[in-house]
Amino acid sequence: MWHVLASLGILVCAIQAIRSQRLLMSALWLAGTSALVSLLLYLLGAPEVAVIELSVGAGLVTVLFVFAINIAGEEAIHLRSPLPRVLTWVTVIAATVLVGWMVFPGMAMPASVPVAEPSFTTTLWVDRRVDVLLQVVLIFSGVLGVLGLLSEGRAGAQKESRQ
Amino acid sequence: MTLNITNVAVLVVLGLFATGFYGLLAVRNLIKVVVALQILVKGAMVALVAAGNLTGQLQAAQSMALTVIVADTIVAVVALALAVQVRRCIGTLDIKALTSLKR
Amino acid sequence: MDATTALTGLILTPLVASPLVYLFGRLAARAGAPRNPARWLALVVLAAALAFLFPAGQAVLNGSAVEVVDGAIALRMDGIGLLLAAAVLVLGLLVTLFSSPYMAGEEGEEKFYALLVMMCGTMVGLGCASDLFNLWIWFEAMAVSSYMLVAFYRQQGASLEAGVKYLVQSAAGSALVLLGIALVFSQSGTTSLAAIRAGAAAGSGPVLMAAGALFLIGFGVKTALVPMHTWLPDAHSQAPSGISAMLSGVVIEAGLVALLRAVGALAGVSTSWGLLLMVFGAMNILLGNLMALRQKQVKRMLAYSSLSHVGYMLIGLGVTVGFQLAQGAAGGFFHLLVHVLMKGLAFLAAGTLLYALHLAQGSHHPLVADDLNGAARRYPFIALVFSLALLSLGGLPPLAGFMSKWQIFVAGVQTHNMAVIVLVVFAALNSVLSLGYYAPLINRMYRKEIGPVVEMGKPVPVVMAVPLALLALALVAAGFYPALFGWLVNPAAASLLVAFGG
Amino acid sequence: MAATLLILSIAIPWFGALVVWLAGDARPRLQHGLAVAFSVLAGAVAVALLPFSSSQILLSIPVGGAFGDFTFAADGLGVFLAVVATVVGSLAVIFSVGYMRGEQQLGRYYALVLFFIGAMVGLVLTTNLLLIFFFWEITALCSYALISFYNDDPKAVAGGIKALIITQLGGVGLLLGALMIFSYTGSFDLRDFIAQAGNIPQTALAVMAFGFLAAAAAKSAQFPFQTWLPDAMEAPTPISALIHAATMVNAGVYLLVRFYPAFAEVPGWRTAVMLVGMLSALLTAIMAMVATDLKRALAYSTVSQLGYMVYAVGAGGLFASQFHLMSHSVFKALLFLSAGAVIHGVGTRDMRLMGGLGQKMPFTRAVFVIGALALAGLPILNGFWSKELVLEAGLVGGPLWMWVVMLVGAGLTACYTFRMVWMVFYGQPRAKLHAHEAGAAMKTALAPLAAGTLLTWLLAGPFSKLLESTLPLHALESHSTLHYLEEVALAPATLIAMVVIALGLAAWWQRARLQGLVNALSGVARAAADSFGFEAINRGIVRATQNSAENLRVTQTGLVSWNIFGIMAGLVLVLVILLLGA
């Protein structure tokens, strides 16, 4: 039962996040989506990642959004969509229906019995250690990217070196 | 069709997929484009965990989902930084203003 | 050194060294060093990686794929991985060398080199990934490290705009790939490419087919398949020229390799993969050529021509996938390699002129065709190598671009399939059409009346000319002796044939 | 020894190209000297290769795979054309010393000329289809670069690109044919192909045959690709003489002769070849009647004479076609170079401004008249013998009506040749032009060519002996010179031809009386001046391509939403294709 409610909630929040005119509201709806996704993940049997999604997805990312909106400023852009409305709907529906039609029968089977698996920690830190290494790479690249994009420029750099 | 959890999860994935792409197509504010991207990736993440649930390999799915969260957050961070810089430099977040490069 | 250690070293060196490059560069910048040491460090790191590549590559060429296993994930270098690694490291080295005067004095130089090294490292890893999810994360890491490089001139609106488009499209594509991975995982219960291939051959279904389509589109965004190509002309024209060369020379090819790996695992699911590759090939060739035809900005024109060259590769690879002829992939990979050389050369040469004519004078104007009038008088060497690159792109002998196209066409006709033969003729006609935009540029450079822009041009540093000379030499050598790269290309073709069950 | 000479004949010009380029434009005298030295050396090497001609493979570089082994043979046909290329090439280079004096960027000029000579030699000496295509394209590349040598002149740039694109379009036919041959015989060696041609399915063989015909027609500026050659006349005149009269344009004829044994049995192919030759010969002869630009008139006559060669190949007269090729190379090079001397002397190419130049340039007039008489096909000169052989071959191997058309063409040739000589050298001066006689270097180049025009017909016997050593399956018999002379002199057809040629001359003489006829033909003349609409077709295609390219640029909207739409559209497309395929 819970999963149906959570799912409905996810979709409502997501649609609201797209629809809402104010950026801040949009970010908050996204946080809601994230929180409900984390609930769904929990129900799907993934408690560890649900917690992380709750803290990172609903927490950290929302903070980042609010931060960015603060800097960039709330800008009211509620003009019409740049694409013809019909085209938007047709492509989205066509793609979704096609994928859904191909995918749904194959996915709609009862969950199988969990196979004997090592624990989450082992899977993450032993089996998929390369992925973790790459997370570090990603974080480093991302941070460098942000620094590169946002540093204050010449004047800032000089001030920094004087300190 | 029963409303068991994998069925529902697949529907959620499709819904998020459609919403995300609708957002990318219809939204004009750069920051909201990032929101749409987030929604898209959340859909993929739910799909991953649901797949783990289906095949009974939840731990592998979980560790992948974790990596996805990290990667996705990084992309969001860079995208937001870019948006902020666009706002500083060009003065607006409207993607319609970002059409100097064409043809 | 045994091959496994070498492979470990090869993959880890750039990843570990990249932060060091940044750190030293940052410290030096703070200390106010006039010449940032980051560039030399980057050069050393890439050279070290190249040194690791030799023992690893030797083993691959001897017929045994080299493997590093860590937990459930194996990094496995086969022919394709070797080809990509060699291309990435060689071009990376040359671009680093080229950038040292080009980027000198730019703010954030150390970040540039650190990310460049990181990007090279992630591409080498991407070529070796043998696990579907691992492949995606290498791919994502490559993308993230390139975002800032594209939007490097962050005070320039156009540059930011290109960055935005690149990021949004790239991220949407990678979300599609991720969805595809989830679909595959739900059916196979594994992410190992080999295991997926084994399972997909036995029982297949529309789910895996949808996954294949998602891979094709998701990785296709990075490979710049038409109609997902729209980010490419913007990004290539706005990035610093070294990065344009990297993007065009290896990043889109890395996307192609990722695409082949992922779709190759699902080869048994559908018989249409070869057809799809060739359809995209035809669209890429035609659109790329027509869009380039009326283009006035030099770098943008080169970017569009990248589209058409990806198309030629796709035709060669499609022949292998669809008809199990190794010749096609040999041609496709040969063209990939030659494209690294000639497009690298073209972008670097255009970059040199851009540097001399605009950047060195503090202007961020794009380089337009008119600026090149009479360039041969002041920059005879640059004009010569640029002409060589353009003629090779147009597929004229005695340059390598002719030979690689030839091999692709040979494979296409060998299928004895009427549709493919028609496609070959179509591609050949397009090759002629492409001369319609390459040739006028060359004519401009050899005008006797020097244009006002060239008149005021600054001299070109010698360091920039070195990579140009090396690339041009390779281009001519492979044109006269096309078997020159056979040792590198044929194992890659064999690997592809294995992947698609030949 | 022979293999060394063969390599040297390609390597010397190419090495020379590099050296001249590196010598730098600051030292023009050195560049002139080097270019002459290398081209003469190449000519000497090619001549030295003559006694070694044989149908054996001399040299094979193993490459394998999709490229075949790089094989070379110095057979009769190949060596002959190599000698023509290098000897005429060296004369053109010598002429250039005078003609190009004081020009800038000489390094580029000479490097490309030498590069071209080497490629032309390679083209005729290799037996690997890939290499044939390879050298074929290099000659096109050099031709393009040299036509647009004066890059400041938009007409030169446009002419160069036009030549490049049209010959490349035809080249697609050669490409397709070569690839088909490989896919059926598993080899790029043309000997294998000619030997096995009978085993290839008829339709595939027909595709190859007509592909090669298209390539040959484009390269030799034959109908319907003839439009590029007149525009190529923007090149410096020595280039026109060398590339666009004496050597490169012969490559198409060479290709047809080379593969004749394989394709002769393809239904309709020989007729098509003859038809192409006939239409080219006739149409361009008419165009030459109304041309006012000296070089363009010569260019039209080149196309027309090439038409005779192609016609001869179609009729099975391989020897006649090659013999005419030899004569034509000599007298057309002579005509172009002496026209170059005129143009250099007076500074214009417009024949309407010339007239009465003979008094100021007696030497040039003398050699030009010799060349013109050979072109018109008057007895004793080399053009007479070879053209008569072509016409005889046509009478034997082709339908009568085509022969009649070719005869009419011969009459027209005489007429326009005479018109040309008259307009340039005789009559009253029509404009104040400061003419001066050709310099020493130019004379050095012109004299041997004039002598050749007078004498090369004596070589018919040795020449046929040489062609006997062509690759196997070419049934070429050798006869003595005397045999050929008798054959021509005693044939009744020759008499008819002479009458027609005389009529052509008389027509020019009596042009005032024939005014009524001229007026009647003015419509044809106008159409001819307009290249019979082929220019319009060319322009139409170019404009259509450019317009569609311009219109397509709208698709790059620069708006992220549309970019994402592209992704979605791609996804839907792929899904649909996959579902349809399943």
What pLDDT score was predicted for residue C482? Answer: 86
* Partner A contacted by C76 (CB < 8 A): no
Q: What is the pLDDT of residues A80-119, one digit of tens each?
A: 778 888 999 999 999 999 998 888 877 766 666 667 778 8
User: Would you say how long chain D is, in residues?
Assistant: 582
Smallest CA–CA distance from B1 into chain A, residue: A108
Residue A37 has pLDDT above 50, yes or no: yes
pLDDT at site D172: 92
Q: What pLDDT does A158 receive?
A: 39
Q: What is the pLDDT of residues D386-439, one digit of tens each?
A: 888 898 888 888 899 999 999 889 888 988 898 888 888 887 777 777 778 888
In degrees to the nearest 10, what's the CA dihedral of D209, D210, D216, D219?
-140
**D391's tokens:** 């016409």
Q: Flag whether residue B60 sits within 8 Å of chain C, measured between CB atoms.
A: yes
Asked whether D125 and D68 are in contact (CB, 8 A), the reply is no
Determine whether the interchain pair A95/D562 forms a contact, defined as Cβ–Cβ distance below 8 Å.
Answer: no
Give the position of tokens 């030498």: D114
Chains in touch with B (3+ beta-carbon pairs under 8 Å) read: A, C, D
Residue at token pair 């027309």? D304
Q: Find the CB nearest C217 among D133, D152, D570.
A: D570
Question: Cα distance from B39 to chain A (closest Cα, Å)?
Answer: 7
Whether the pLDDT of residue C193 is over 80: the answer is yes
Average pLDDT over residues D378-382: 83
Instruction: Give the CA distances from residue D479 to residues C242, D138, D470, D491, in Å, rounded to whole numbers and listed in that order.
Output: 66, 36, 15, 17
Contact residues on chain B for D558, CB-CB shorter than 8 A: 98-103
D475 — pLDDT class (breaks 50, 70, 90): low
Q: Does C167 touch chain B (CB under 8 A)?
A: yes
d(CA C408, CA C424): 8
- Of B54, B68, B90, Cβ closest to residue C186: B54
CB < 8 Å to D175, chain C: 409, 428
Contacting C with CB below 8 Å, chain A residues are: 98-99, 101-103, 105-107, 123, 126-131, 133-135, 137-138, 140-142, 144-145, 147-149, 151, 153-154, 157, 160-161
| Digit-coded pLDDT (tens) for C394-441 | 988 889 999 999 999 999 999 988 899 999 999 999 998 998 899 889
Question: What's the rounded mean pLDDT across residues A33-61?
Answer: 92
CB contacts of B98 in chain D (<8 Å) are 558-560
The answer to whether residue C225 sits within a structural domain is no
Q: ∠ at Cα D409 (D403, D415), nearest 5°?
A: 145
Count B/D contacts: CB-CB distance under 8 Å.
33
Who contacts D400 (Cβ-Cβ below 8 Å, separation ≥6)? none
Q: Does B74 contact C185 at a Cβ distance shorter than 8 Å?
A: no
Q: Hey, are the CB atoms on A95 and D579 less than 8 Å from each other?
A: no
DSSP assignment of chain A equals -HHHHHHHHHHHHHHHHHH-SSHHHHHHHHHHHHHHHHHHHHHTT-HHHHHHIIIIIIIIHHHHHHHHHHHH---------SS-HHHHHHHHHHHHHHHHHHHHHHH-SPPPPPPP---HHHIIIIITHHHHHHHHHHHHHHHHHHHHHHS--HHHHHHHHH-
Query: What 3 state SS string does C300-323 have?
Result: HHHHHHHHHHHHHHHHHHHHHHHH
Length of chain C: 502
Residue C240 lies in a domain: no
Per-residue confidence (pLDDT) for residue A156, from 0 to 100 = 39
pLDDT class for C199, splitting at 50, 70, 90?
confident
Please enumerate in sequence order all residues whose Cβ is within 8 A of that of B68, keeping only pairs 6 or more positions apart, or say none. B41, B44, B45, B48, C178
The contact set of D with B (CB < 8 A) is: 553-554, 556-561, 564-565, 568
Query: Which of B27, B54, B95 minimises the CB distance to A112?
Result: B54
**Would you list which residues of chain D are within 8 Å, Cβ to Cβ, of chain A?**
559, 561-562, 565, 568-569, 571-572, 575-576, 579
Residue identified by tokens 């002149």 is D153
Sequence-distant (6+) residues with CB within 8 A of A142 are: B74, B75, B77, B78, C144
Q: Given an 8 Å threshold on Cβ–Cβ distance, is D161 in contact with C439?
A: yes
Confidence at residue A14, expressed as pLDDT on a 0 to 100 scale: 93
Give residue D385's pLDDT band: very low, low, confident or very high (50, 70, 90).
confident
In terms of residue numbers, what domain contains C292? Answer: 271-502
Which amino acid is located at B99 in the chain? T
C410·D179 Cβ contact <8 A: yes
Per residue in D204-228, pLDDT (tens digit) is 999 999 999 999 999 999 988 888 8
- C 207-246 → B contacts, CB under 8 A: 233-234, 237-238
Element (DSSP H or E) covering residue D181: helix D154-185
B4 or D36: which leads in pLDDT: D36
Q: How far is A25 from chain B (nearest CA, A)?
A: 11
pLDDT digits (tens, 9 = 90+) for B66-94: 999 999 999 999 999 999 999 988 888 88
Looking at the DSSP assignment, which residues form a beta bridge with residue D61? Answer: D70
Confidence band for A73, pLDDT divided at 50, 70 and 90: confident
pLDDT at C252 > cutoff 50: yes
What are the boundaries of each domain within chain A? 1-77, 119-163
Chain B residues with beta carbon closer than 8 angstroms to that of D556 = 102-103
| pLDDT, average across residues A34-50 | 92
Q: D405 to each of C448, D8, D94, D289, how far by Cα in Å?
A: 47, 44, 39, 16
Let me know: does C204 contact A106? Beta carbons within 8 Å: no
Residue C348: which pLDDT band, with cuts at 50, 70 and 90? very high
Span B55-64, mean pLDDT?
A: 88
Asked whether residue C202 carries a pLDDT value surpassing 80, the answer given is no
Residues of B in contact with A81 (CB under 8 A): 25-28
**Per-residue tokens: B92:** 């607006």
B99–D558 CB contact, under 8 Å: yes
Of B52, C129, B42, the residue nearest A120 (C-alpha) = B52
Indicate the residue of A103, A145, A161 with minimum beta-carbon distance to C183. A103
Pick the residue from chain C with its C-alpha nearest to A127.
C71
Residues 6+ apart with CB under 8 A from C393: C305, C309, C342, C343, C346, C401, C434, C438
- Chain A residues closer than 8 Å to D572 by CB: 91, 94-95, 98
Write down the pLDDT at residue C34. Answer: 78
Question: What's the gap in Å between the CA of A82 and the closest CA on chain D?
Answer: 7
Mutate to test the interface with C, among D14, D539, D556, D561 (most CBs of C within 10 A): D556
Distance CA B81, CA A151 (A): 10
Q: What is the pLDDT of residue A157?
A: 40
pLDDT, residue C498, reads 85
DSSP conformation letters of D335-387? HHHHHHHHHHHHS--BGGG--SGGGT-HHHHHHHHHHHHHHHT-TTSHHHHHH
Cross-chain Cβ contact B67/A128 below 8 Å: yes
* R_g over Cα of chain A: 21
Class of domain B5-97 as given by CATH:
mainly alpha
Q: Residue A91: which of D559, D572, D576 has the nearest Cβ? A: D572
Which candidate from A83, A92, A94 shows the least CB-CB separation from D562? Answer: A83
pLDDT, position D325: 92
Q: Which has more pLDDT, D14 or D468?
A: D14
- Give yes or no for residue A161 having a pLDDT over 60: no
Nearest in space to C234 (alpha carbons), one of C294, C159, C306, C290: C159
Q: How confident is the model at residue C287 (pLDDT cuts 50, 70, 90)?
A: very high
For residue A160, is pLDDT > 50? no
What's the rounded mean pLDDT across residues D257-276? Answer: 91
Smallest CA–CA separation between B101 and chain A, in Å? 16
User: Does residue A152 surpass a pLDDT of 70?
Assistant: no
Phi/psi class of residue D71: alpha, beta or left (left: φ > 0; alpha: ψ in -120 to 50)? Answer: beta
> For residue C443, is pLDDT > 80?
yes
Q: Calculate the CA D179 to chain-centre distance.
A: 24
Q: What's the mean per-residue pLDDT of chain D?
A: 87
Q: What is the pLDDT of residues D349-363, one digit of tens each?
A: 888 888 788 888 889
- Which among A80, A86, A91 is the top mutation candidate for probing chain D, defined by the most D β-carbons within 10 Å of its own β-carbon? A91
Tens digit of pLDDT for each residue in B62-72?
A: 999 999 999 99
Chain D residues whose CB is inside 8 A of the C161 CB are: 558
Within 10 A of D517 (CB to CB), how many other CB atoms are there?
11
Q: What is the pLDDT of residue D515?
A: 66
Interchain pair D576, A99: CB under 8 A: no
Closest partner residue to C271 among D104, D183, D581, by Cβ? D581
Give the residue-averaged pLDDT of D491-497. 79
Residue D27: its pLDDT value, please? 86
Inter-chain touch D579–A91, beta carbons under 8 Å = no
A1-77: CATH number: 1.20.120.1200
More confident residue, D468 or C227: C227
Q: Where is mean pLDDT largest: A85-89, A118-122, C466-470?
A: C466-470
Q: Say whether pLDDT at A162 is over 50.
A: no
Average pLDDT of chain C to the nearest whole number? 91
Whether C469 and chain B come into contact, CB under 8 Å, resolves to no
Q: Does B37 touch chain D (CB under 8 A)?
A: no
Give pLDDT, residue A105. 79
Bridge-based pairing of strands D57-61 and D70-73 is antiparallel
pLDDT given for residue A163 in this prediction: 34
Domain count, chain C: 1
Q: What is the CA radius of gyration of chain C?
A: 21
Average model confidence (pLDDT) across chain B: 89
Q: Confirm whether C199 is domain-assigned.
A: no
